[in-house]
Structures are given as C-alpha cells and as structure tokens.
Amino acid sequence: MIRQGLSTALRFASLRSRRRAALAYAALAVTLTVTAALALDRIFPPDLTRYHERSTEVVDANGRLLRAFTTADGRWRLKTTIDDVDPSYIALLKAYEDCRFDWHPGVDLMAVVRATGLLIARGHVVSGASTLTMQAARLLEPRKRTFRNKVIEAARALQLEWRFSKREVMAIYLTLTPMGGNLEGVRAASLAYFGKEPRHLSAAEAALLVAIPQAPSKRRPDRFAAAAQAGRDGVLARGLEDGVIDRALYDKAMSRPVPTQRLALPMNAPHLSAWLAGQSPNAAVPTTIRLQLQQSLEQLVAEERGQLTDKAQIAMVVMDNRTGGVVAWLGGGDFFGRAGQVDLVRAHRSPGSALKPMIYALAFDDRTLHPESLVEDVPVRFKDWLPRNFDRDHQGAVTVRHALQQSLNVPAVLALERVGPARFLSALRSAGATPILPPGDPGTSLGMALGSATISPLEMAGLYSGLANGGRFSLPQVRRDQPRPAPVQIVGDDAAWYVADVLADAPLPDGFASLPVALRERRIAYKTGTSAGFRDAWAAGYSANWTVVVWVGHADGTPRPGQLGRAAALPILFKAFGRLPGEDNRGTRPPADVLRVGSWKELPLRMQRLAPTAVEGAPRIAYPPPDARLELGTHDTVTLAASGTGRLHWLVNGRPIAGTSWTPDGAGEMRLAVVDDTGRSSAVLVHIVRRQ
C-alpha cells in the first residue's frame, strides 16, 4: 500500500516535471519565434518605395487639388486615406473583398480554411483567401502569383499589421490599387472617371471603383464599359446581400450608366503648380490660392484673350492684402500652345510708368514733395537723354497729383532725381523685388522712372500690396507651409495714403464714364504702364483688401503698336475686381500726420516746387526776373530776354509762343520757360496784374 502510494506520487511528480519542461520548451519556442520574427522584420522591412513615390499634388488654401503630376514611372498615384473616400465605398470594399478586415491580423484563417476546403472538394480554385492587407503587400512589391509568393505575401501582411494601424494599411491599398491604364488609387480613378474627389461617391460609383481592381485591364470603363458594368453590378449585389445597401439604393445604382470616357485631371494654376512641383517632388504642396477665384479669373482671362485679334497673352496675379497671400495666379493662356508654358507672372518685363507711384511715395515720405506741390513738365535734357511724354507734349507747371494721375514723364524723372536712383533701387530690393537693370547700368540711371529696369508681375503685386498696407512691404506668399515673411516699413502711412488718394482718381479708360456700380465703394487706386515699343501693357491696382496686377503682351516681346496699358490692361483689371469678394473698408481714414492744404502756396517752402536742377550751359532768363509782378494793360506786350547758345524757344504755361514778344491773355500767375535746341531749360514764375 505504501509502495503503491509512493509509486503514484512519483508518477505525478514526473508528470508535473514533464509538463513544466513542455511549458518551458513551448515558451522557449514562442520566444525564439517572436525573436526570429522581430529579427526578420528588422532585417527585411516592408518596401514602401512605391507608396512614397506618389504624384506631386499642388492644392489650394482649402486643400482642393489644383494640379497633380505623374510619377517618374508615368503613373497617376495620388495619396488616398480613409478620410478621403465616401464611407459607402469602404463598406462595399470590405463586403466584397475582406469582410473580416477589421478583426484579422493580416491573414484570414477562416478564409484560408474555406478556400482550401473548396479546392479539395472541387479540384480547382473557387474562392481566394487574399485579404486587403495581403493585397496591399502585393501592391507594394508586385510578384507573379505562385504558391511561394502567396506565402511571402501572407508574411508581409502579418508584418504590415504589426507595424501599422488598420487605417494606415487601408491607405496603402487605397493609394496603390490599380484602376486601369496608368491610374492607381481611388482618388486618381474618381477624378479621371467621375471628375470629382471620392468623398461624395454615389453607390454606383463606389461599386465601380471596388470592381475595377479585380481586372483593371479588362474593366476599364473608358474601353470596356460592358465588363465594367458587369463587375460593378456584382459588387452591388454583394452589398445588397450583406445589408450594406438597401433595395431602393440598389435599384437606383443599378440603373446608372458607367462612364465611357476618361477625363483630364484638374489643371488649375498650371504655371504656378509646375513651379512648385519642381520644388517639392512626391509631396502635397499647400498654397494660398483660392480655387473658386482662380477658376473665375481664368474664365475672365480666356474671354478677354478670345477678343484679342493678335492672340496676345494676359497674365494676372491677385493678392489678399490682409494676409499677403497670392489668391490667384494666371501665368498666361493656352498652356500647351506656342510659348504657353512661359510663366508670365514671374517673367521680368519693362514696367513702363507702373513704378512711378513708388518714386513719389519715397518723395512724400521725405517731406520734400506733396500731392499739391508744383512740378515742371517742360522739356529737360538729362545729360544725353531728353524724356518726353507719350503725346510728345508738355503741360508746364502742374501739381504732383496731376503729374502722377496723367503719368507725365518729366515730373517723374525729376522726382527720381530728387529721391536718388540708388535709393529708389535699394527700396525696391528691400520691398522684395529683384529689378534687372539694362547692361552697363550700375543703378544710377534716371531711366528707371520710365521702365528701364525690368520687374515681374508678381513683384509688382508685392509693391502695390505694400502701398495698400501703409508702406509695409513683404514678399508675396504662395505656400502655406512656409512662414509669412516679416514686413519691412519702407515709407510711412502718410506717404502711402497720399499715393492711394492720388491714384484713386486716376483717369478711367476710354469707354468708362465712371466705374461700374459694384466697384464704386471699393476705392480702387490704380496705375497703368506701357513699355517702349508697346511691348508691355500694365495695370496695377489695389483696394483695402485686394491687389490686382494685369499684364498684356506677347511672351516673345513682339510689339503691339498703339496698345497702351490704359486701354489694353486697365479694363481687365476693373473686371477682375468685379469678381473679387467685398471689402472690409479698413484704412479709409487718413493718418493723423497727413498734411491737408488748399494749394501749393500753403506748403512749407521745401515742398512747394519741383523744378529741373540747373544744368551747366543751360539758357538763363534775363527778363522778366523770377516772381516779377507785371502790371499790364489788356493789349500790352512783354519783351522776353534770355542768354544762351543757339536758337531759343519760349513757352508760357507749357505752350510755345512765337518769337520773344508775349501778350498775356489774362491775369494771374504764369510760368515762363526757355529751352534751347539741346533740351536745356530754365523757368520763372511771374504775376500778371491787369492795370485798372
């Protein structure tokens, strides 16, 4: 009895010992397996190269696609996540492809057992056991369909599930799944077949996108519509069977036709998109562009360009003055036509008179000029250069306000002479512009007042937006993923206000009796420019919220005789403002230090007049002397006298008179000027008083 008990106890002890050993071996085996799996995972990580080599996307301020680009291997492969697609698509996809996707570890053992049983029972493959995760693994590393490769796919699927969440695994599938031709991923297919993002797919559309990857070369709806529809209907039937869709939705979806053609992917702001895509390949580039504004202004430019008999190009850039962001970028029309891919928003062109407001802003800021200052518009020779107005005439003594509104050339050159060309050039560069000087010009030429230094429409927009922001200038911002440049104060609020106050009353183009009603409350300040030879026509303007720059011309610089900025570009600028959102009317009140006067005589002495600098050898007026008071009868004449070489020409208030005998036609202040044949001149003001 005792011996039997001892024997039983020994057997139990031995059994416990063997169990402990078995558990130890099992634990060791599991540990070794896990260690081996971790080691293999580390040594052979999943190759995500294809997933990361995606199409470059350029998107607007709200994330909407402006333009996408094919990958290096010519594929449309747009990143797609679960959040990018309609929930109905995900539900149909899981029902049709992998109903236990949310639960299995990458390999569905129940599906494997079912597929194996059917294979044994029927002698051929009836159903597969491939999960969405296994398909994602195959899409990452495409292989021929063999048993060995199937095992590798299963291992890779387990590895993907170990490394990534279900949402991330699904994103790989949604991005890489083949959709016919060079389309990959649900977003690319939705845009190409339906012309829309997949966030709002109908049941019929969702089912078609589930069906195509089953046989992408045979179910392309643009080539094999019947096969595509049959595949789609099969997906809808499965969805009805599994309760994903109800009968009413099923019937409606079944009645819908499949698309029979492939659409072009979005092509908004193509010039900007191409430029940014070159900076950030395989990425999504966020911009400040507003898609609806971009499309509206693209339509406007297309309409305006269609009316040009010479098919000149129109470039336009629009900025939001409040944010400094570019909201519309039109680099030209007919992108795939001759010279159509030249981005004219970034191209440097001669600005003509469009930079004159910056010259006057600097002079206003120096307190050496005021809008009511008198300036001499007379023939003046600056060394070997004799600038003239476009109409080849001169207007004599005028206010700076009038000179800027009428874009008179000599006053602008005189103002630049006072400001200093080097300082003006430095101010442009500080504001973010990169003016290109003509060969041999060290930056001291007065010709910059009339457009000798080239500038781009984008830089022009930055300058005018700076004036709109009270003289605070910064580079135009176009990428939302980069910090906004800090503004630089170049002129004061009062100088900027003077410029806006002057330009808001500039002459309207021919055919405009007044601004359209929709624009009258905007208080638009605007200036035009025309380059030498009529190669470039400009209009630049700003309101409280917006800055618009329009350029019209040929990309190759072909002249357009007679096409002034005022006629060719300014009407387009007004039409563009008509398509912009309303204003908040900020900044309408003048700054506290604005100097208001009734006439130039009330200004401080240094600000009263801007006259040509005395030039060596210039003629000098001997009679009448400066500020002379002449009491004359109605028919009295004045004999004019001056010293100088060669033939001398006299002007009264900018109008030439014959000889040296002058009969004043009225009383008041009058300006006498004498000019020699080389353009050198001098002038005096006299006061005519009628004798009683």
State the pLDDT confidence band at 549, using cuts at 50, 70 and 90.
very high
Summarize the confidence of residues 372-377 as an average pLDDT: 89
Query: Locate tokens 């002890």: which residue?
Result: 13
Q: Give the domain ranges of the chain.
A: 2-44, 50-254, 288-608, 614-690
Q: Which residue would you say has higher pLDDT here, 72 or 379?
A: 72
**Integer angstrom CA distances of residue 232 from 139, 194, 200, 228:** 22, 15, 17, 6
Burial class, 166, CB count within 10 angstroms (exposed 0-12 / middle 13-18 / buried 19+): middle
For domain 614-690, the CATH superfamily is Immunoglobulins (2.60.40.10)
Are residues 619 and 679 in contact, defined by beta-carbon separation less than 8 angstroms?
no
What distance in Å separates the CA atoms of residue 511 and residue 8, rounded to the nearest whole number? 118
pLDDT for res 234: 96
* Among 442, 388, 439, 441, CA closest to 413: 388
Phi, psi of 539 (to 5 degrees): -145, 130
Report the phi/psi class of residue 206: left, alpha or beta, with left for phi > 0 and alpha for psi in -120 to 50.
alpha
Are residues 84 and 199 in contact, defined by beta-carbon separation less than 8 angstroms?
yes
Phi, psi of 382 (to 5 degrees): -105, 100
For residue range 439-498, list pLDDT tens digits in order: 988 888 999 999 999 999 999 999 999 999 999 999 999 999 999 888 999 999 999 999
pLDDT for res 107: 87
Q: Which residue would you say has higher pLDDT here, 521 or 596?
A: 596
pLDDT for res 124: 44
What distance in Å separates the CA atoms of residue 443 and residue 568, rounded to the nearest whole number? 30
What distance in Å separates the CA atoms of residue 106 and residue 102, rounded to the nearest whole number? 9
Are residues 319 and 327 in contact, defined by beta-carbon separation less than 8 angstroms?
yes
- Positions annotated as catalytic residues are 97, 353
Beta strands in 165-292, from DSSP E residues, in sequence order: 183-184, 284-286
Largest CA distance in the chain: 163
State the pLDDT confidence band at 117, using cuts at 50, 70 and 90.
low
Q: Residue 687 corresponds to which amino acid?
A: H
Neighbours of 145 (CB within 10 A): 10
State the pLDDT confidence band at 435, using cuts at 50, 70 and 90.
very high
Fold for the domain defined by 50-254: Penicillin binding protein transpeptidase fold (1.10.3810)
Considering only 221-230, 238-247, 275-284, which range has the smallest mean pLDDT? Answer: 275-284
Query: Locate tokens 């044994």: which residue?
Result: 120
Rg of the chain taking only CA atoms, in angstroms: 39
Proportion of the chain in helix, strand, coil states, percent, rounded to 5: 40, 15, 45
Instruction: Name the token pair of 247.
Output: 């009968």
pLDDT for res 679: 63
Phi, psi of 514 (to 5 degrees): -160, 170
What DSSP string describes 403-443?
A: HHHTT-HHHHHHHHHHH-HHHHHHHHHHTT--PBPPTT--S
Encode burial over 336-354: b for 16+ CB neighbours within 10 A, e otherwise.
eeeebebbbbbbebbbbbb
- pLDDT of 196 above 60: yes
pLDDT for res 157: 92
**Integer angstrom CA distances of residue 568 from 118, 212, 464, 512, 573:** 76, 51, 20, 13, 10
Contacts of 411 (CB under 8 A, 6+ apart): 375, 376, 377, 398, 400, 403, 404, 610
What distance in Å separates the CA atoms of residue 328 and residue 342, rounded to the nearest whole number? 17
Summarize the confidence of residues 349-375 as an average pLDDT: 95
What distance in Å separates the CA atoms of residue 120 and residue 260, rounded to the nearest whole number? 41
Summarize the confidence of residues 217-239 as an average pLDDT: 96
pLDDT for res 125: 45
Instruction: Name the token pair of 25.
Output: 């071996």
Q: Confirm whether 50-254 and 288-608 share one CATH topology.
A: no
Considering only 157-166, 348-357, 608-617, which range has the smallest mean pLDDT? Answer: 608-617
- Name the average pLDDT for the chain: 88
Summarize the confidence of residues 558-564 as an average pLDDT: 93
Considering only 62-66, 209-213, 396-400, 586-590, which range has the smallest mean pLDDT? Answer: 586-590
Hey, what's the torsion of the CAs at 472, 473, 478, 481, to 10 degrees? -60
> What stretch of H or E contains 649?
strand 648-652
pLDDT for res 151: 86
Q: Which CATH number fits domain 288-608: 3.40.710.10, 3.40.50.2300, 2.60.40.10, 1.50.40.10?
A: 3.40.710.10
What distance in Å separates the CA atoms of residue 379 and residue 650, rounded to the nearest whole number? 11
Contacts of 500 (CB under 8 A, 6+ apart): 467, 468, 523, 525, 542
> What stretch of H or E contains 526?
strand 525-530
Instruction: Name the token pair of 27.
Output: 């634990």
pLDDT for res 468: 96
SS3 label, residue 668: strand
> What stretch of H or E contains 77?
strand 76-77
For residue range 8-50, list pLDDT tens digits in order: 666 666 667 766 666 656 555 555 444 544 555 666 588 999 9
- pLDDT of 627 above 80: no
- pLDDT of 394 above 90: no
What distance in Å separates the CA atoms of residue 150 and residue 463, rounded to the nearest whole number? 63
What distance in Å separates the CA atoms of residue 651 and residue 632, rounded to the nearest whole number? 19
Summarize the confidence of residues 104-124 as an average pLDDT: 65
pLDDT for res 520: 78
Instruction: Name the token pair of 394.
Output: 């001169």
Give me the residues paired with residue 12 across strands: none
